[in-house]
């Protein structure tokens, strides 16, 4: 019975997503952190500087993947597993998961990097990754291919993905 309830909640959150990458702009929710530009054109939130970072196409190529240099192969440039939230300010489910991702960035500090990509400002990145539904979250392990999740999920689901997919040691590295 407990599994059925969890499954219903998961399915409900999966259907709570925005489709498309344009729409009417809502103002940011009250209390949300404002971003400021830092070195290299990336942004970090004011209340969580150093924790959650906004990427531009330029910083994405440096910190995640240079899709121009390696258009056919996934070559991860990062030093830690990463989560990338593709979002838009007008997307209500995107605003719902934003505080969850901020909490996870603090909770897993030093273990993973958490990035955000504004699909309205970074249309090239949205196009490269075929983002058509928001929010879309990309989970990038150190080895292997990344995994993409569309729609909002509860915090526990993100934690499970981090623990089981991003931080789990590859079979070859077990002692």
pLDDT grade, residue 8 (50/70/90)?
Answer: very low
Structural domain contains residue 72? yes
Structural domain contains residue 174? no
Residue 59 DSSP label: H
Catalogue the active-site residues. Answer: 91, 94
Structural domain contains residue 133? yes
Structural domain contains residue 175? no
pLDDT (average), residues 94-98: 96
Structural domain contains residue 134? yes
Residue 46 has a pLDDT of 39
Structural domain contains residue 52? yes
CA distance 49 to 153: 24
Task: Please report, for residues 21, 40, 86, the alpha-carbon distance to residue 61 in angstroms, rounded to integers and kept in the order given.
Answer: 21, 11, 15
- Asked if residues 53 and 102 have their Cβ atoms less than 8 Å apart, the reply is no
Confirm whether pTM is higher than 0.95.
no
pLDDT (average), residues 19-42: 38
Structural domain contains residue 108? yes
* Domain range enclosing 54: 2-24+33-169
pLDDT above 70 coverage of the chain, percent: 67
Residue 166 DSSP label: I
CA distance 97 to 85: 9
pLDDT (average), residues 67-96: 94
CA distance 154 to 54: 22
The 10s digit of each residue's pLDDT in 120-148 is: 999 999 999 999 999 999 999 999 999 99
CA distance 63 to 77: 5
> CATH no. for residue 15?
3.40.30.10
DSSP H helices in 48-170? 57-63, 92-107, 123-128, 155-161
Structural domain contains residue 129? yes
DSSP H helices in the chain? 2-15, 57-63, 92-107, 123-128, 155-161
Q: Is residue 38 over pLDDT 90? A: no
Output the average pLDDT for the chain.
Answer: 78
**What is the Cβ-side half-sphere exposure of residue 76, based on CA atoms within 13 angstroms?**
18
Number of folded domains that form the chain: 1
- Asked if residues 84 and 129 have their Cβ atoms less than 8 Å apart, the reply is no
């Amino acid at each position: 019975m407990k599994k059925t309830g969890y499954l219903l909640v998961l399915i409900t959150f999966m259907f709570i997503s925005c489709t498309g990458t344009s729409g009417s702009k809502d103002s940011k929710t009250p209390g949300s952190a404002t971003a400021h530009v830092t070195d290299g054109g990336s942004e970090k939130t004011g209340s969580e500087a150093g924790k959650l970072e906004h990427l531009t196409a330029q910083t994405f190529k440096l910190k995640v993947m240079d899709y121009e240099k390696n258009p056919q192969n996934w070559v991860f440039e990062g030093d830690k597993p990463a989560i990338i939230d593709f979002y838009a300010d007008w997307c209500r489910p995107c605003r719902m998961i934003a505080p969850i991702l901020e909490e996870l960035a603090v909770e897993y500090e030093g273990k993973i990097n958490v990035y955000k990509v504004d699909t309205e400002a970074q249309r090239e990145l949205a196009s490269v990754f075929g983002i058509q539904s928001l929010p879309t979250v990309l989970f990038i392990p150190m080895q292997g291919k990344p995994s993409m999740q569309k729609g909002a999920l509860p915090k526990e689901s993100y934690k499970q993905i981090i623990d089981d997919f991003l931080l789990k040691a590859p079979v070859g590295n077990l002692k």
